[in-house]
Amino acid sequence: MRVASGKTKVSLTNYFYRCPVIFNMKEERARDIYVEEIMTRVPITCCPDLTAKDIGSLMRLWKVGSIIITVEGRPVGIVTEKDLVEKIVAEDKLPGVITAQEVMSAPVVTIGPHESVADAGRKMARLHLRRLPVVDNGELLGIITENDITRLSPTLIEITREWENINAPLMDRRGLGAFIGYCERCEAYSYDLRRNGGVSGKASMLCPDCRDLLVQERPE
């Protein structure tokens, strides 16, 4: 199978085998930068009782695509433009009656301020999210979005998503039963993933370090 890239056709297999090299270069740069360095430090928030209509007005006023729902400074959910369209408009509900608590996505997926930008990008790609509230000890500190990461590394999110989309891991060219992708235990990127039997016979794709830990954890 071949795909078009501009005017040049490239082998899909060759493209994805080159992706780890490209991704690693981008990820190395992003790993040197912490989330707190590029996050928005004053995210727009509201209480769970605010109506969907008011949330839409806040989004338009502040030109944002989401509002974080908080209780005593702690995030309990998030309302995005997609939530308003799918849960209000598409279902023909009254935005002046429905509250944030009824349409918010909860529990909210967050990330810590001292995690790397690369980790944030991977989490967004894996969970198909466009933004992550930044939380430390339950306290909301800010928000990091796809746009923040794209400004730092324009292709990091795109390349990460390509890998997630082919997450039937690629067989290593060495033909030794090894796979390329993310470890299902530590989430580290590895060129040497291998299947290991898990609980109830469910196999997991693990990197060498996690395979060693699994052996040590098994009862004698």
Give the residue extent of every domain in the chain.
35-156, 169-220
pLDDT at 147: 86
Structure tokens at 185: 């235990």
pLDDT at 51: 96
User: Helix (H, G, I), strand (E, B), or coil: what is residue 219?
Assistant: coil
133 contacts 110 by C-beta, under 8 angstroms: yes
| CB atoms near residue 205 (< 10 Å) | 18
pLDDT tens for 47-57 read 999 999 999 99
Do the strands 203-206 and 8-11 form a parallel or antiparallel pair, or are they unpaired? unpaired
pLDDT tens for 68-87 read 999 998 999 999 998 999 99
- The fourth-level CATH superfamily of domain 35-156 is CBS-domain (3.10.580.10)
What does the alpha-carbon distance between residue 175 and residue 54 come to, in Å, rounded to a whole number? 58
Instruction: Tell me if the pTM is above 0.85.
Output: no
User: Which residues lie below 8 Å from residue 161, measured CB to CB, with a gap of 6+?
Assistant: 125
Of 63, 62, 99, 70, nearest to 83 by C-alpha is 99
173-176 long-range CB contacts below 8 Å, 24 or more apart?
173/17
Q: What share of the chain is helix, strand, coil (3-state, %, to 5)?
A: 40, 30, 30
| CB atoms near residue 117 (< 10 Å) | 26
